[in-house]
Structure 1
Amino acid sequence: MEPGKPYTHPYIPNSVPAVREAMLHAVGAASVEEFFADIPAALRMQAPLAIAAPHLSEARLKRHVDGLLRKNSHCAGQLSFLGGGCYQHHVPAVCDEINGRSEFATAYAGEPYDDHGRFQALFEYCSMMGALLEMDVVNVPVYDGMQAAATAVRMAGRHTGRRRVVVAGHVNPDKLSMMTTYGRADLDFVTAPFDPNTGLLDLATVTRLLDKDTAALYVDIPSFLGTIDDGAALAAAAHAVGALFVVGVDPVSLGVLAPPANYGADIVCGDIQPLGMHMNYGGGQGGFIASHDDPAIVMQYPSRLFGIVPTSVPGEYGFGDVAYSRTSFDKRENGNEFVGTAAALWGITAGVYFALMGPQGMTELAAGIAQRTAYASQRMTRVPGVRVTHADSCHFREFVVNFDGTGLPVAAINAALLQQGVFGGHDLSTAFPALGQSALYAFSEVHTQEDIDLLCATLEKVLNQ
């Protein structure tokens, strides 16, 4: 590239003068400035973006990108106790081997006749998830657990014909944002506060918020804070006013906790990321929705449902869509909701994980996590200035740690931990100010007793600096 000579940017097609002129001519604009004239000047950049000159060879570009990636500190290379919806688990090699196969790697769309293997793989996943949840119907995965929650309460709204949704105050703030954004045209959301001393919902307060206009009560069990509410009592309160009880659940927890169906849940939803998926910089998520085989509720699913039927050949079966007419694939804008790209590949991956683990493996996994959570809670109480906030409540995987006694903000503590090669807990001080300077610490089967002891020793070190 000669200095001072205009060039065509290799990654921006409309930087080619002829292309840019053709585009402007097609929309009837004399110039780029005229094209953007409707945007107020105060909202427009008045100078070019500070973008470096392009790398014009593949080798130079690769070196540049590799240099950027080396700046990242990721959980596989550090001791991490982050959680809050995306977790570090051991991913069996067979999960990556199978989801990387060419017949599955682009697991989207297709038809039962020409994509029979993928349809069967997803049917098997739905069957195993249904067995874990003790529910009859499970959807093909949607984008993530947050969308699943948003869709689940909209299903409740359509089913009941009501608008009001009561949401537990200790859900993930990002999930609540997704639910309110996704449902704002159909639903009105009310938040039920939780007791900051116990981390649990107050049944009397929840009951007062429920009324004849309530479509659903939504609760995560375990909660975002790791606490475990009385699901049966909450279900009874919701059903007393004719509302549906919608429960978000970590599927791994069901190795030791009763499935929500056992204590009255009408719709269950969650994220399948813990089931054989790596932490992928915001990806690697997939959402499930499940219910009993109640036709009135089943017809409210917007996403695909796969079933099994015998074929004309004795002993052979086919796998395909159930009640296809309720989807936007069939009804377009008149469907229950618009359905776009599914996380089908992660559904297949979760099916591989379930098949590998089996019921006993899921029980052992959950029990191991519960034991690590209990040990970590006891161990961290011995760190001077540190307090486990809801120590008297039951927890799974996560719990809140308060640092008010140290006189330091969580952000400073996490920065000091990172310098020691440790990712501290998720900072709650902004989203949950009533909890003070607190962080959410998460544990899984990848953490050893030595890891937890090292965390506590490192905390003592950084707090005494």
Structure 2
Amino acid sequence: MDHGLTPVHPYVPNSAPATKRAMLDVIGVDSVEALFFSIPAALRMDRPLNLPAALVAEPDLERHMQRILAKNRPTTDVISFLGSGCYPHHVPAVCDEINRRAEFLTAYAGEPYEDHGKWQALFEYTSLMAELLEMDVVNVPTYDGYQAAATALRMAGRITGRSRVIVAQTIAAGKRQKIGTFLAGALDIQYVAIRPDTGHVYAEDVAALLDSQTAAVFLETPNVYGVIEQEAAGIAELAHANGSLLVCSTDPLSLGFMTAPAAWGADIVCGDIQSLGLGMHYGGATGGFIATHDDERFVFEYPSRLFGLAPTRVDGELGFCDVAYERTSLAMREEGIEWVGTAAALWGITAGAYLALMGPAGMTQLGDTIASRTRYSMSALDELDGIEVLHSGSAHWREFAVRYQGRSASDVNAALLERGIYGGASALDVLGTGTGGSPEHLDGVAIYCVTELHSPADIDQLVCALKDILK
């Protein structure tokens, strides 16, 4: 009888048949195949992978990879107004220099015997983030902001002991799917719609959904349309009066311009650090952060590693160490609240270098620059025939939405690309059409991104191109 125990793989641990059999016996499973019974048959592959013949020499592999990479078209070859999760911000040379250093070059946070300053670097990152976020505790980065958002909501459910969360619809489809998957079986989700005229969530709409089982309200600001939530403080007050938490997703770079969510009542702040010197690498790099106040109820719900200071055996000396390590799955194993594994520690160190380089004045200047260029772009596009700037009366940062009259976003983008411009991302692609999607009609809607790298001349070139395309 085939128990799925063969073959032995030279690079896969524990692949010997006897070892596999012993592991299956311990967990009480007859075969490896039985572990996958919950996956529908239609989703399983019942044939070997269709792979080409193996390459026998390194030069062959180099040529093969060069041919594949030659198909890429970098955004630096054109003017790009794409954003929606991966943003074209300036990456100082020092960021790349630091994250390539041998003592840092790994995704792992490390252990004391091979730390070589990595724990101090991560402590500096979390300290700088805490100052920016006006919070006390920040984790070693998770894979991305999507995971951070989902984890923050699970934390809220455990802290409150309640069974439901209210989530604003103004999030990307990928984030919505991640939250839905990660909360499945643990927390129910109810979505609150935006008001189409302003693009943000209203407190009275949230109030209508709050009840005794609401663990948290989730807001994102700036949201997927680049709109800054105007009633966030009021929503936080309503949530707290109901015994619920307020979880806020934000881009830390925006806090050089916006008030930190903690200042208006957010209990858990999360997001992605991609904009903090990480750059654009085929959709990344990314790293998710979670931040809270120094409250034991919150600290012991963090699944990921935390770093702090502690006295050593030498009087007056301090060392960098794991904080509340006993709450992690590394210490608790299967009793852990969530699994701790590969992180994005290298990107945390990189973001720390970026924040240290920028400083408070640099962050403020950068935030103001992006805000002013965003508004300049909105005003310029609003003058064109055949285009409507959505939510123009609301405050924006970095992104804004437009509607093309009688044209699809994909058609306009194809015409822009012929002129050397990547246009705004199609709102249909960003938001999707599934449960919790935008209530607005998204056909013909595009979401534009403007950063410090977009000069007024770049914006004027976009305006001229759209004027020609839409005439």
Q: Same fold (TM over 0.5)?
A: yes
Aligned to 2:458: 451
Matches within 5 A, 1:30-179: 52-179=52-179
Aligned to 2:428: 429
Q: Which runs of 5+ in 1 are unaligned?
A: 1-12, 17-21, 29-34
Which AA in structure 2 matches 1:428?
A
Question: Identity, % of aligned pairs?
Answer: 52
Aligned to 1:386: 387
1:462 aligns with 2:461: no
- Do 2:109 and 2:118's aligned partners in 1 also have CA atoms closer than 8 Å? no
3-state SS of the aligned residue for 1:279?
coil
Counterpart CA distance in 2 for 1:242 and 1:43 is 42
1:369 aligns with 2:355: no
Which AA in structure 2 matches 1:102?
A
How far 1:49 sits from its partner (Å)? 6.7
Counterpart CA distance in 1 for 2:101 and 2:8 is 38
How far 1:204 sits from its partner (Å)? 1.3
Q: Deviations over 1:370-405 (max 9, x none)?
A: 0110100001112220110111111011000111x1
- Do 2:261 and 2:269's aligned partners in 1 also have CA atoms closer than 8 Å? yes
3-state SS of the aligned residue for 2:226?
coil
Aligned to 1:442: 449
Matches within 5 A, 1:64-463: 64-229=64-229, 230-403=231-404, 405=405, 407-429=406-428, 431=432, 432=438, 433-463=440-470
Counterpart CA distance in 2 for 1:128 and 1:268 is 15
3-state SS of the aligned residue for 2:394?
coil
How far 1:463 sits from its partner (Å)? 2.9
Counterpart CA distance in 2 for 1:121 and 1:181 is 33
Counterpart CA distance in 1 for 2:110 and 2:373 is 43
3-state SS of the aligned residue for 1:318?
strand
TM-score, structure 1 as length reference: 0.88
Counterpart CA distance in 2 for 1:202 and 1:130 is 28
Q: Deviations over 1:52-81 (max 9, x none)?
A: 555443323322321221111121222111
- Do 2:409 and 2:443's aligned partners in 1 also have CA atoms closer than 8 Å? no
1:115–1:61 CA distance, 2 compared to 1 (3 A): closer
Q: Deviations over 1:232-291 (max 9, x none)?
A: 111011112100001011101101111011100111011001001011113310011001
How far 1:15 sits from its partner (Å)? 12
Moved more, 150-159 or 222-231: 222-231
Which AA in structure 2 matches 1:112?
P
Counterpart CA distance in 1 for 2:294 and 2:216 is 18
3-state SS of the aligned residue for 2:353?
helix
Moved more, 419-428 or 151-160: 419-428
1:42–1:291 CA distance, 2 compared to 1 (3 A): closer
Note the aligned Cα RMSD (angstroms). 2.6
Counterpart CA distance in 1 for 2:374 and 2:254 is 12
3-state SS of the aligned residue for 1:135?
coil
1:44–1:352 CA distance, 2 compared to 1 (3 A): closer
How far 1:198 sits from its partner (Å)? 1.1
1:114–1:166 CA distance, 2 compared to 1 (3 A): same
Q: Deviations over 1:60-104 (max 9, x none)?
A: 332232122111112122211111111011100000001100000
Counterpart CA distance in 2 for 1:251 and 1:398 is 15
TM-score, structure 2 as length reference: 0.87
3-state SS of the aligned residue for 1:261?
helix
How far 1:314 sits from its partner (Å)? 4.0
1:165–1:113 CA distance, 2 compared to 1 (3 A): same
3-state SS of the aligned residue for 1:434?
coil
How far 1:462 sits from its partner (Å)? 2.9
Which AA in structure 2 matches 1:254?
L
1:25–1:327 CA distance, 2 compared to 1 (3 A): closer
How far 1:24 sits from its partner (Å)? 9.6
* Over 6 Å off, 4+ runs: 13-16, 22-28, 38-50
Counterpart CA distance in 1 for 2:40 and 2:352 is 51
3-state SS of the aligned residue for 1:209?
coil
Q: Which runs of 5+ in 2 are unaligned?
A: 1-5, 10-14, 22-32, 433-437
- Do 1:266 and 1:292's aligned partners in 2 also have CA atoms closer than 8 Å? yes
Counterpart CA distance in 2 for 1:92 and 1:58 is 33
1:23–1:237 CA distance, 2 compared to 1 (3 A): same
How far 1:41 sits from its partner (Å)? 8.8
- Do 2:136 and 2:294's aligned partners in 1 also have CA atoms closer than 8 Å? yes
3-state SS of the aligned residue for 1:182?
helix
